Amino acid sequence: MEGGERLRPKVIVNVAMSADGKIALPDRTEVKISGEEDFRRVHELRDRVDAILVGIGTVLADDPKLTVKEEYVEDPDHPLKVILDSERRTPEDAQLFNKGDWLIATSEETDKEGWIRCGDGEQVDISLLMKRLEERGIEKLLVEGGGEVISSFFEEGLVDELTVFVGSLIIGGREAPTPVDGEGAYERNETIDLEFVGHEYMDDGILLKYRVDGDDEISR
Ligand SMILES: NC(=O)c1ccc[n+]([C@@H]2O[C@H](COP(=O)([O-])OP(=O)(O)OC[C@H]3O[C@@H](n4cnc5c(N)ncnc54)[C@H](OP(=O)(O)O)[C@@H]3O)[C@@H](O)[C@H]2O)c1
């Protein structure tokens, strides 16, 4: 990780998993893991951040709206929706386009409105994207998944806080996605240390809260 002041948004990762550590069915179909209390918490959290980010895998699997539900938050300011989509696979009729502002980050040349090129590698350069978001005034970013995207954020040392809701169900299956997929065992075959900061019982499960160890020098 680079030394000195880190000018980038604060990054919060939030995910819901089963008791056996899976975030969707083996065929990647969405499954209900938490309930009303956790939905409310997530929508209140969305309302407190400036942007929400997911990968194209989540867009294709779940077609999420990525908005703040008025049922949970009165008169919300919908955060900016940010999608990582290197090969421009986001469907034109995706629900994320229905309400609020959006930004799609790609690694290909683009002059489409609302799209931004970050790097020219196989995937979106997320460190560069963080700089671009900082320049746009994004101070807090909520990363909601899926496992590939969350893995990249950990790998790049970009995660500040992690909340994991553990629901009371088993999903099973070695192909079912987990909160952090990717290659795993990061640089030097090391694990990533977390600082456990608390828990909360909600619905029929438990919310686990962590800070990511190490460099405290986040911009805000
Ligand atoms: N339970 C939960 O809380 C929760 C939340 C969200 C999602 N999910 C589940 O997660 C699953 C989707 O997860 P997923 O892992 O398949 O997909 P994902 O993490 O949503 O998206 C991964 C894709 O994003 C693109 N991408 C571009 N730049 C990237 C970068 N720097 N790092 C990582 N990815 C980058 C890549 O595709 P390109 O190369 O084509 O760009 C990559 O394959 C679904 O089953 C969904 O239901 C669960």
Q: 186 in a domain, yes or no?
A: yes
Residue 48 lies in a domain: yes
How close are the terminal C-alpha atoms of the chain, in Å? Answer: 17
The reply to whether 95 falls in a domain is yes
- Which residue in this structure is represented by tokens 């020219």? 120
* Residue 86 Cα to chain centre, angstroms: 16
Structural tokens at position 153 = 């954020």
Nearest protein CA to atom 43 of ligand 1, as residue: 57
In a domain, 218, yes or no: no
Per-residue tokens: 80: 């900016």
5, part of any domain: no
Within a domain: residue 93?
yes
Burial 185-210 (b: 16+ CB within 10 A, else e): ebeeeeebebeeeeeeebbebebbeb
- What tens digit of pLDDT does each residue of 42-100 get? 999 999 999 999 999 999 999 999 999 999 999 998 999 999 999 999 999 999 999 99
Q: 86, 104, 83, 213: which is closest to 157 by C-alpha?
A: 213
Per the structure, the count of domains in the chain is 1
What distance in angstroms lies between residue 4's CA and the mean position of ligand 1's atoms?
A: 30
Of 105, 103, 143, the C-alpha closest to 15 is 143
> Which residues, 6 or more positions from 141, have their beta carbon under 8 angstroms from its beta carbon?
9, 10, 11, 12, 49, 50, 51, 52, 53, 82, 130, 133
**Ligand 1 atom nearest residue 28's Cα:** 45
Give bridge partners of residue 102 from the DSSP assignment. Answer: 81
pLDDT of 5 strictly over 70: no
Name residues contacting ligand 1 (CB within 6 A): 15-16, 23-24, 28, 30, 33, 54-58, 61-62, 84-87, 89, 123-124, 126, 144-149, 152, 177, 181
Domain membership of residue 153 as a residue range? 10-212
pTM over 0.85: yes
CATH number at residue 122: 3.40.430.10
Residue 2 domain-assigned?
Answer: no
Predicted confidence (pLDDT) per residue in 139-151, tens digit:
999 999 999 999 9
Is 220 part of any domain?
no
pLDDT 10s digits, 23-44: 999 999 999 999 999 999 999 9
Residues 13/163, Cβ–Cβ less than 8 Å: yes
Give the H or E element holding residue 128: helix 126-135
- Residue 144 CA, ligand 1 centroid: distance in Å: 9
Query: Which atom of ligand 1 lies at the shortest distance from residue 61's CA?
Result: 44
- State the pairing for strand pair 140-145/51-55: parallel
pLDDT at 213 over 80: no
- Strand pairing report for 10-17 and 140-145: parallel
